[in-house]
Amino acid sequence: MRYISTRGTAPALSFEEVLLTGLASDGGLYVPESLPSFSAEQLEEMASLDYPSLAHRILLPFVDEAFSSEELREIIDDTYSVFRHSAVAPLVQLEHNQWVLELFHGPTLAFKDFALQLLGRLLDATLKRRGEKVVIMGATSGDTGSAAIAGCQRCENIDIFILHPHNRVSDVQRRQMTTLSGPTIHNLAIEGNFDDCQAMVKASFRDQSFLPDGRSLVAVNSINWARIMAQIVYYFYAGLALGAPHRAAAYSVPTGNFGDIFAGYLAAKMGLPIAQLMIATNRNDVLHRLLSSGDYARQALEHTLSPSMDITVSSNFERLMFDLYDRDPSAIAALMAAFDDGDIALSEAAMSNARAMFASHRVDDAETLACISNVWEKTGYLLDPHSAIGYAAATLADAKSGVPWVTLATAHPAKFPGAIERSGVAAVPTLPAHLSDLFDLDEHFDVLPNDMAEVHRFMSAHLGA
């Protein structure tokens, strides 16, 4: 399988090369040159597979030259054995035609574990084979940091530096990162906001000369293709449980960077019958405005009760745009260059391509809290604020009716006790047993000024030999 850049001038890469990189050298994102697809007969046969077996079936074509079938199988079995539900991604019915797909049974209680636990193991195997070391550098406002550290903490060949805005992430989220320790793990609390952290990471990827010879940076945010790939699997898992290939389901996806829902779009292209994909956003609604009006326009960041969806631009949307423009890289390069200077409008043809599969709905904080409490009252089920946005969109929006709806439950409610309390429900979400001592463990992090030279000096000084 070859991977090509959405902007057309970077070299095509193999899976292994894509795994070890971030953005393409032309500023684009890597996508597979072509997708594997499954026939109705194959889907029927896949319907009985458990999660790891299904993951192996779906992911093997993407990695072909880099891992043998047996190697991949071992890695996948190990990856999903650390999840705390035997189904890995259990599907729970809440109402007629309304299901939630629980994606929070991994080590850090958010769906990001599905991809980052796998990514850590794929990287580890690749680096061992090549005898190389890499540096992971990422910025987080919440779930990515802990999931990335948890996924890579045992990899001797990876030094990991995660930047978070000092005093601006929740206690649970910070402690999930800072209580993991080891010689290769570095939490940097930056005296600035999330955008400052993100800007430093982006600039560091552009100019990696601060690193010693032989080391390079690997991205752990969802621009890394391997993350998207891993997320395709659970769309199939839920769809097959609900009757694919004979019945289509619709999915409502709490969306920030567009990585998770883009994986759903790929599942549809690979043969899974999908009736609709709902982009559920909070007040940071750049994609909802785009789908409503065709204008792709930045707005100031708003802080909401669903912090993992607080973004102003959804980077992975470029991967969809590539398809919306019939895979014409020069069209994407021109659009993205124009977007750097201001707002852009998509063509009529691109918009009608998008509307064929996607709907969108925006949910504000008051509606989020109302959804948490309504669902609790009606069903006794406790949604976290991100999942509540998805559920509200699936039930309130002008969604395709008559089809089963699956809301992706992206985080465990115990990660966001403040929002649960504000919703007024009588329930107090408790952390699962493996995290029950989270508030007793020692934290490890270094506070650094919002200064790139200082951060680079720190990183050089702390890189393992």
Ligand X SMILES: *Cc1c(COP(=O)(O)O)cnc(C)c1O
Identified binder of ligand X from the candidate list 411, 419, 431, 459, rule CB under 6 A: 411
Q: Does 257 bind ligand X (CB under 6 A)?
A: yes
Q: Does 113 bind ligand X (CB under 6 A)?
A: no
Q: Does 445 bind ligand X (CB under 6 A)?
A: no
Query: Among 119, 114, 76, which Cα is nearest to 220's?
Result: 119
Cross-strand pairs, 296: 344
Exposure letters 74-92 (e unless 16+ CB within 10 A, then b): ebbeebbeebeeeebbbbe
Using the minimum distance from each CB to ligand X, give the nearer residue, 237 or 258: 258
Q: Does 353 bind ligand X (CB under 6 A)?
A: no
Write each residue from 378 to 397 as x if it is in contact with ligand X (CB under 6 A), else as -, in one continuous string. --------x-----------
Residues 29-68 that bind ligand X (CB under 6 A): none
Segment lying near ligand X (by CB under 6 A), choices 121-129, 149-157, 256-264, 347-355: 256-264
Number of residues that bind ligand X (CB under 6 A): 16
- Letter for the amino acid at 453? A
Q: Does 256 bind ligand X (CB under 6 A)?
A: yes
Residues 168-227 that bind ligand X (CB under 6 A): 222
CA distance 434 to 432: 6
**CA-based R_g, the chain, Å:** 21
Using the minimum distance from each CB to ligand X, give the nearer residue, 169 or 331: 169
Identified binder of ligand X from the candidate list 112, 133, 288, 362, rule CB under 6 A: 112
- Letter for the amino acid at 165? P
CA distance 99 to 112: 20
- Is residue 222 within 8 Å of 315, Cβ to Cβ? yes
**Least distance (Å) from ligand X to the CB of residue 39?**
29
List of residues 6+ apart from 45 with CB closer than 8 A: none
CA distance 10 to 21: 12
**Least distance (Å) from ligand X to the CB of residue 309?**
5
- Is residue 382 within 8 Å of 413, Cβ to Cβ? yes
CA distance 93 to 405: 10
Cross-strand pairs, 161: 137, 186
Identified binder of ligand X from the candidate list 102, 113, 124, 143, rule CB under 6 A: 143
Using the minimum distance from each CB to ligand X, give the nearer residue, 184 or 252: 252
Q: Which amino acids are annotated catalytic?
A: 112
**Least distance (Å) from ligand X to the CB of residue 73?**
26
Q: Which residues bind ligand X (CB under 6 A)?
A: 110, 112, 143, 222, 254-260, 308-309, 386, 410-411
